[in-house]
Amino acid sequence: MPMYLKRDTIRLLEASIKSISIAFIAFGLPKRIELREDTSENAIEIGLVGVAAELALSAIIVQVNGTKTLRLPSGFYKTGTHIVDDFKSLMSTRLPKMAFLTQGVERSSDHIEEIVSNTSKFKLLVKLRAGGLHAGMGPSRDVCVACLNDVLSFLYVLSKSSRIKPYTSNIPQKIEVIKSHELIIDELIHRMKTSTSIEEKSRALSSIYLILPELPLEEPEWLEAFERVAISPKEQDISFLLDTLEKSKYDITN
């Protein structure tokens, strides 16, 4: 079989698919009858989903700019946030070396836009990934499944390229979602309003941002608050995020 991509790119893509596949399997494992701390549920699942997203983005970056771009000048690997930012910057350049993304695809410009739009929540996802892998905290199963399906959608879009397709033939099918996003958001709003714990409020609010059909504008401001809420929640950050949603087209405060 001919090599359509760099070996490093193939490795990253295959690792991404393996990660999302293990997350998929984890959802089917039997649950313990009782969890002493229910916030630990889905921690590993959301961690694996976030890892899959980061590895897939890294694969595209490496194909264009090589493996050195995954490291900081210090030699340490970049964070998930760095990878998401690098990917977005790369996609805005439309370099000739990016032609592998649209090989055999009609309307290449539309395809690039579709790729970018499918990563709109990945920066939020890598924040929750850190909470899962470093703090053992995970969102609800509904939110995890929604995130998993978002990453699968991204992989499906990438696989439309004839140069990528040979390495993505074993992508799992999406998990069927019984609840609508609107119902999940309503449940999260109720949980947030009835919670007395700042930690519970922050988890519900973080999950709402991941489920929203479209994210609010002014990303740099609210994203910093989102990161703080996901790691070390404070009332002022929760209030700021609620205020941001109130000003957006998705008012959840009524």
Kindly write down the DSSP assignment for every residue of 39-62, as one continuous string. GGTTHHHHHHHHHHHHHHHHHHHH
CB-based contact 92:165 (threshold 8 Å): no
Residue-level pLDDT at 249: 56
Percent of the chain scoring above 70 in pLDDT: 85
| pLDDT of 251 over the 60 cut | no
Tens-digit pLDDT profile for residues 43-80 = 889 999 999 999 999 999 999 999 999 999 999 999 99
Tens-digit pLDDT profile for residues 133-185 = 877 778 888 889 999 999 999 999 999 999 999 999 899 999 887 778 788 88
CB-based contact 45:138 (threshold 8 Å): yes
Cα dist. 117→135, 168, 198, 202, 213 in Å? 29, 20, 32, 26, 11
Which residues fall within 8 angstroms of residue 116, CB to CB, at 6 or more apart?
Answer: 88, 91
d(CA 167, CA 11): 9
Which residues fall within 8 angstroms of residue 184, CB to CB, at 6 or more apart?
Answer: 142, 143, 146, 211
SS3 66: coil
> What is the pTM assigned to this prediction?
0.84
User: Average of pLDDT values for 211-229?
Assistant: 67
d(CA 170, CA 158): 13
Cα dist. 80→71, 89, 136, 179 in Å? 11, 14, 17, 29
SS3 71: strand
| pLDDT of 217 over the 80 cut | no
Tens-digit pLDDT profile for residues 190-200 = 887 787 788 78
Place of tokens 């961690």: 47
CB-based contact 107:18 (threshold 8 Å): no
d(CA 45, CA 26): 7
d(CA 49, CA 19): 7
Main-chain phi, psi angles of 205, to 5 degrees: -65, -40
Residue-level pLDDT at 74: 94
For the chain, how many helices (H) and strands (E)? 10, 0
Confidence of residue 252 (pLDDT cuts 50, 70, 90): low
